[in-house]
Each structure stands twice: as C-alpha cells, then as structure tokens.
Amino acid sequence: MLSLGTVPAWAVLGQYESSVSVDQQYLRSEDRVQAFQAYKVHQLTTASGTIVREYISPQGLVFGVTWQGPFMPNMQQLLGSYVTNLQTASPAQTHVRHLRGLTVKTNDFVFVNGGHMRFWKGSAYVPSLFPSNVSAEVVR
Amino acid sequence: MTLRNDSKATLGCFLALVTGLIFLGGCGGSSSSSSSTSTPAANNTAAVTVGFGPLGAAGGIVNGIYTSVTVCAPGTSNCETVDNVLLDTGSAGLRILNSALTTVPASSLGTIKDSSGDQLQECVQYGDTSYSWGPILVADVELAGEKASSVPIQVIGDNSFAVPSQCLATPVNPNLPNGGNEDTLATLGANGILGVGAFGYPLDCGSYCTSSSYLTQSGYPYYVCPAGQACSGTTVPYNLPSTSSNPDYQVTNPVAMFSSADNNGVLVTLPSIPALGAANGTVSGSLVFGIGTQTDNALASSATVYALDEYGNIPAFTYNGVSYTSPTNFSVLDTGAGALLFLDANTLASSGISECADAPGFYCPTSTVPFTVTVSGAINTSGTGTMTFNIMNADTLFNTNNAAFNDLGGDSGTSPASDFFDCGLPFFFGRSVYIGMMPGVFTGETAAPSGASSTYGYYAF
C-alpha cells in the first residue's frame, strides 16, 4: 500500500501527461479518458468517490485540473509546482470567503475551492498552457 | 511511517465512552425516550443576533449571526452557557473553542477512546483552506428549552498533538490569519459553530467515516494519536438515535438528537433591514427548532419547498438564461456566509456588476442591481421557484460602518465553469427560512410536515 511517505511529490498541473499515471497510482483510482478535438480529459475516481479531472493539451501538458468529492484532495499532488502560486498569492490576488471558499487569480494561475462538509469542489488551471481556441470554460 | 494499523482501522468495535456513559441512564434526557411520551412542549425558540460578533468592528466580520449554546458535563447539572456561537446552516454539528469553556472545562466532558486508550480527534477542513483541530468530546447540549444528551462535539484548540499532514494536504493560503488555524477566537470570530445544515443527514462525515477504505485519503477528518506515533485516520461509527448501548460518536447536529419532537429541522427568522444596513447590536431574530411540530413552526402555506439533491445542494438554478446544475455549480442556503456569493463579476458584468477595486471578491455596482434567480427542485409547486435579492455597492455599505446587510454580494468562482451560489445571510433578512433535515431516515427523527417529503432534506421559504 502506498502512503504519503513513499510517493514523491509528483507534479500534475503543468507537467506532461505521463504524470497522470503516477497520479492514478497514488489516488488508487480508475481512469477514464475522453478525447476532444483540441484536448483530452482523464477522469480519475478514488475509493472515496472523489472525482479528479485532468485536462491535457495536444502538447501533452496538463493545463487544468478539477476535483469534487467528500474530502479535499492532496493539492500538492494535483498542483505540482503550481502549489507555490497558491502559497505566495498576494492579498490583491486572493479572495478569502471566511470558512467557505478561496479564489486565487494570478496572471498564470487560477484556483477556486468551495463547498461544504462531504462535498468539496474546485479547479485550477494555467492560462498560458491552454491550447489555442480552447476557453477556460472547458475546465469544469 | 505507518498510517494504518489494523487495530485502529476497526476502532468502532472498541470505542467506549470512558466518562459519561455510566450516567446515561440517569440523566432523564436520553433520546430513546423521545416521541412516544407526551411531555409539555419545550421552549423551542432561541434568540439570534446579527453583527460584528465578539471581535467587534475591528474583526472585519459583518453579517455574523450568533446564538447561545449551553454545554453540560454529561448526566449532570454542571452547565455553562457559551454565547457568540455562529449559527451555521452550512455545516453539521457543534464545535466550541476550548477557551470558551471555563466553568465546565473540556476535562469535565465525556471522552471517546479506542481500545488503546487513545482519544478521538478531528481535523475539520473549511473551504477557504483553513481548519480546526481538537478532540471529540461528549456533552449534554441545551438550546433554548431543548435538550440533547450525550452529543459528540468538537472542542477546538484543546490539543497537544500536531495537526496531521494528511489533513493539511491542501496548503493554507498565506492570506489566512494564523496559518489557517481556526482554533482561536481571533481567527474563528466566534466562540464556536452550531452547524444545523440540512445536507441529507445531520453528521459531519457520515458513511465516509465508517469504512476503513477512506482512512488514508487526503482531508480525512477523524484521527487517533498514539503516543510516539503520527496521528492516523480512524473509522468512527454513528448511531441515531444515540443510546447507552449504541452511542453516537460522530459530530452530530444537536437538533437531530433533541429528546423532544422538535428534531427535524430549524426555522430561521430575521427582520427586514434597510438597504444601507443596520447598526451592530440592533438586529435580532429567532432560531426555532422543529418544523411542523409546534404552533410556532408550522410550514407556511405560502412557502415553496425545495428538495435537496444527494450532495445536499439545490439541484439547479438559472440566471440570465444560463442553467447552473449541481454538482458542477452547487447552491446552498448558508447563514455561515456573510455575503451573497453569487457567480462572478465577469459573468455578471452585463447585469451591471463589477468587482470592488479595494475589496477583492466583493461586488461594487454603480447602482443597486436587482436579481431574480429561477430555482429548480421545488416540490410543492410546478417544479421551480424564484429567489430574489439585491446587490448594492459594497464600498457604500462598508462606509456606513453598519454590521448587517441584506444586499452585500461577492464572487463564488471565476467563470461559469467554477461558479456557484453560496446564498449567505443577506438572503435571510425579512424572511422565514426552513432548513429541513432528511426525514425518517433515523429512527426517532420526527417526520417532515406534509408537502415537504424529500429524500435528502429540504429548504423552504
């Protein structure tokens, strides 16, 4: 069985698609792939019912992730190096909804989390990694 | 590092109330004696006040709604009334700051331990990446004239153990005070949280915490912390009604454990206030326990009833021709949110909404914008109903130095893909809002009144 101590802090957001398989192993999840014209989506479902979607550009890079489930996922795992953007955002780039939700908007990183007990959802994406002609609206 | 231990993975089999249990039979309020006895109707109305809360204007909180909760050492008349507890229809269960318990200290409450003598702990996460950490203790809880015996509550900030990294796998945003730790009055802005949300069942974790398969998931809430080892996730059973032979161990909405029939939901009533708001200390209302159980809590015939979905959300709402559907775009009625957190400024630009330049996330329209949102899930009308509210310039509102506003708005996400509607306290002014729990699932819970039958709980207003 894998535990926090034995899995390296694999990046997903901003990394190549191959990191998805590591993520899948970590999340102990099932993988379903949907292909669209300009991108594809890996949907991973964990044992607890948390659904993680990872959006892959034609270049093979993960440009967005979403999550929804009873517990908040491991953001270090999902956001990879972009977790730094979450940890260094300035007050002007951050909207804290006390106890309720968080939005971080920087030029190259957008993060939203919210929900309530037993139902958390959110998304993160990197605008500069979006395929051409694909809007941020696809990351949902 | 071992995160699993077989003896802990089945903690539920060995859990025992170390104190409190032996008093259960004699305390007279045992929930097993609930609906079949004909006792005089309990005083089912608690006062609520709206304002800055215990931190005052300097705390930066507006639209806080607070009530008082009496906490008693189980089976005794040793009780303490804690004021300034946040009334929260957006969570389940009672959480009290350790520092707010003085004459009835945490050490006088019942404990829950596993067979190794390790005490049950909880790390509860909030949506803004903050968290509270502390043991689950057992108390008798009184609200107005209502009593609930042997209620598992979280006493936050009463803990010498380090917060499990598993709980904090989501890094805390640096703009949250105290590293996101909500274990003090200064950060929480309240002496506790009274969670009376509908959300299907009145538990904070429910079946997700009864199976060992979730124990190592990020964000898992319940832990034991054996000496010299890291805290590890543990399963925690729930039992409603809670009895001396089958006690409840998960943090539970005390309303669902009332010995009276007023245990099927709450009614929140707040007065109308002016568009520019009301001063601190001038707005009071009522928190009525039970729906359709006494003359003062009948479901109004004019109320539209909305059945919640399996996630505890309003199934869908429509604004400006766009449909927002749960679970992608959820919506809830949430007294714990101080503003109408509705969609985002870009999406609402055509309605005249723009973001405040000096208050990120809040809405600063040049003139007040009226909204009508179509809501689905209505079960006593043709299937839809409407929510109406106004959003006024937040800068104008804040400049009044008032503490209660019915028209304060802010964003929920960044685009329709991530948006939702966390319908906060402003919506509750001038209304009676019913928060109905899942009827009939737990033996002893009073059924919903006619016309409000729903599988996962309901709202009515």
* pLDDT tens-digit readout, A11-61: 489 988 877 766 666 666 667 788 888 999 988 887 777 899 999 999 999
Average predicted confidence (pLDDT) for chain A: 84
Distance CA B50, CA B280 (A): 7
B123 touches chain A (CB under 8 A): no
Tell me what pLDDT residue B421 has: 97
The reply to whether residue A140 touches residue B417, judged by beta carbons under 8 angstroms, is yes
Supply φ then ψ for residue B23, to 5 degrees.
-90, -10
Confidence band (pLDDT; 50, 70, 90) for B163?
very high
Residues B181 and B297 reside in one and the same domain: no
Tell me what pLDDT residue A5 has: 35
Tell me what pLDDT residue B2 has: 24
Out of A4, A75, A137, name the one closest to residue B170 (CB): A75
Q: How many domains does chain B have?
A: 2
Query: Which residue in chain B is spatially nearest to A67 when comparing CA positions?
Result: B328
- Span B248-274, average pLDDT: 96
Tokens matching residue B153:
């509550």
Residues B217 and B304 reside in one and the same domain: no
CA distances from B171 to B46, B180, B245 (A): 38, 9, 41
- Could you state, in order of their start, the residue ranges of all structural domains in chain A? 18-128
Distance CA B119, CA B226 (A): 9
| Domain final residue pick, B234, B257, B280 | B257
Residues B70 and B219 reside in one and the same domain: yes
The reply to whether residue B130 touches residue A71, judged by beta carbons under 8 angstroms, is no
Average predicted confidence (pLDDT) for chain B: 89
Interface-testing mutation among B63, B124, B173, with chain A (most A C-beta atoms within 10 A): B173
| Domain final residue pick, B257, B284, B317 | B257
B395 is a domain residue? yes
Question: For the domain that residue B396 is a member of, what is the CATH number?
Answer: 2.40.70
B173 touches chain A (CB under 8 A): yes
Tell me what pLDDT residue B451 has: 83
Residues B307 and B215 reside in one and the same domain: no
Q: Which residue has the tokens 């309605």?
A: B351
Residues B356 and B239 reside in one and the same domain: no
Using a CB-CB cut-off of 8 Å, the residues of chain A touching B337 are 97, 100
Tell me what pLDDT residue A8 has: 32
Domain with B46 in it:
10-21+42-257
Least Cα distance to B342 among A136, A72, A108, A100 occurs for: A100
The reply to whether residue B313 touches residue A46, judged by beta carbons under 8 angstroms, is no
Q: Residues 363 to 402 of B: which have CB under 8 A from any A CB?
A: none
Q: Which comes out higher in pLDDT, residue B338 or B11?
A: B338
B170 is a domain residue? yes
pLDDT in tens, B23-40: 232 233 334 434 445 567
CA distances from B182 to A71, A87, B101, B177, B190 (A): 18, 18, 16, 9, 10
| Domain final residue pick, B205, B233, B257 | B257
Using a CB-CB cut-off of 8 Å, the residues of chain A touching B418 are 112, 122-123, 139-140
Question: For the domain that residue B123 is a member of, what is the CATH number?
Answer: 2.40.70.10
B2 is a domain residue? no
B410 touches chain A (CB under 8 A): yes
Contact B80, B155 (CB under 8 A): no
Percent of chain B with pLDDT over 70: 90
What per-residue string of b and e applies to A93-130 under the rule 16 or more CB within 10 Å gives b? bbbbbbbbbbbbbbeebbbbbbbbbbbbbbbbbbeebb
Where residue B44 falls (left for φ over 0; alpha for ψ -120 to 50; beta otherwise) is: alpha
Which of A86-90, B364-368, B387-391 shows the lowest mean pLDDT across its residues? Answer: A86-90
Tell me what pLDDT residue B440 has: 59
What per-residue string of b and e applies to B138-172 under the rule 16 or more CB within 10 Å gives b? bbbbbbbebbbbbbbbbbbbbbebebbebbbbbeb
Q: Which comes out higher in pLDDT, residue A92 or A26?
A: A92
Where residue B81 falls (left for φ over 0; alpha for ψ -120 to 50; beta otherwise) is: beta
Residues B157 and B221 reside in one and the same domain: yes
Q: How far is B73 from chain A (nearest CA, A)?
A: 27
B187 is a domain residue? yes
Tell me what pLDDT residue A24 has: 65
Q: Is the pLDDT of residue A130 over 50?
A: yes
In angstroms, how far is the first alpha carbon of chain B from the final one? 51
Q: Which comes out higher in pLDDT, residue A89 or A7?
A: A89
Distance CA A85, CA B82 (A): 40
Using a CB-CB cut-off of 8 Å, the residues of chain B touching A1 are 4, 216
The reply to whether residue A137 touches residue B166, judged by beta carbons under 8 angstroms, is no
Interface-testing mutation among B167, B204, B218, B308, with chain A (most A C-beta atoms within 10 A): B218
B361 is a domain residue? yes
Residues B201 and B303 reside in one and the same domain: no
Helix, strand or coil, per DSSP, at residue B396: helix
Q: Which comes out higher in pLDDT, residue B391 or A19?
A: B391
The reply to whether residue A71 touches residue B166, judged by beta carbons under 8 angstroms, is no
Tell me what pLDDT residue B9 has: 32
Q: How far is A22 from chain B (nearest CA, A)?
A: 16
Q: Tell me, what's the ipTM?
A: 0.88
B26 is a domain residue? no
B213 touches chain A (CB under 8 A): yes
Using a CB-CB cut-off of 8 Å, the residues of chain A touching B216 are 1, 3-4
Query: Which residue in chain A is spatially nearest to B340 when comparing CA positions?
Result: A97
Q: Is the pLDDT of residue B422 over 50?
A: yes
